[in-house]
Amino acid sequence: MWDSDTETVDPPLGQCPACDVTIPAANLVIAYDRAGDWPRMLAACPDCGDAVNPV
C-alpha cells in the first residue's frame, strides 16, 4: 500500500464492516468533513452493494 508505484491510484477507503471487502476510492458516495473525532463517509460496498461506513 505504501509502494511508490501506487501513487497514481487513490488509496482504498477502507473495508466494509459487514463483508471485510476493501472498498476502492472510486466507490465513495459521499464524504462529510467533520470537525469531530472521525471523518464520516459513505461508500458503496462492491460486495454487498450497501452504502456503508468504511472501517
CB of 14 to Zn ion, least distance (A): 11
CA separation for the pair 36, 55 (Å, rounded): 17
Q: Which residues bind Zn ion (CB under 5 A)?
A: 16, 18-19, 45, 47-48
Side-chain half-sphere CA neighbours of 32 within 13 A: 11
Question: Which of residues 31 and 55 has its CB atom nearest to Zn ion in the complex?
Answer: 55
Question: Which of residues 13 and 45 has its CB atom nearest to Zn ion in the complex?
Answer: 45
Question: Which of residues 2 and 41 has its CB atom nearest to Zn ion in the complex?
Answer: 41
